[in-house]
Amino acid sequence: MLANPRHSCVVLLNVTRGEGWDAQAFPLRSGARQPLLPACSEIFGVPQIAVGEYEPSVLPDRIAASIEHLDVDPLSLWRDPRLKPRLVQSDVGVIFLGGAFLEEEVLIAALEGARHGYDIRLLSDLSVARHEADRPLALARLAHYGIFATTIRQALLEWAVSQADQAVSRKIQELLSQ
């Protein structure tokens, strides 16, 4: 089923974590997908929330400006009293989740989010594994619970198609072809 951007949210965990792994490899810091994440809010109004380790000064300005930071431990994300009202206020039912580390905080946050009734979609291109060998295991476990991997590119196209607006669809197709 296509996600509606009016009922979607992007949640990124530990976006600027930088110890014990190649922090420059994180997709938002390395330059990959940089024009895509701001398009979520600029074109569709989809809220983007950073949770956990987040230092906006290490991100490109356009990305940092599009992200709201919620200072909470990613493992306590669903128990934080600020998150639920934020999601209810935006009428969010689908959460596109990514960040570091896939086989740790992202895995637990995804499973807990699904347990709380959210349709969780894993942004695999914005998720970094501490140990790359664990990536397939984490993805298989998530899929077992109905949490499937997607990409930010696929999410943008999905939102565009769900809007049935030719101008928005063309704009997204142009952005994706860059």
- The pLDDT of residue 19 is 53
Report how far residue 78's alpha carbon sits from residue 25's, in angstroms, rounded to the nearest whole number.
28
Cα 77 to Cα 3, 23, 62, 170, distances in angstroms: 22, 23, 25, 36
Q: In the numeric block, which tokens belong to residue 140?
A: 């298989």
pLDDT in tens, 44-64: 999 999 999 898 888 888 889
Give the bridge partners for 94, in sequence order. 8, 119
Give the bridge partners for 51, in sequence order. 13, 70
- The pLDDT of residue 31 is 52
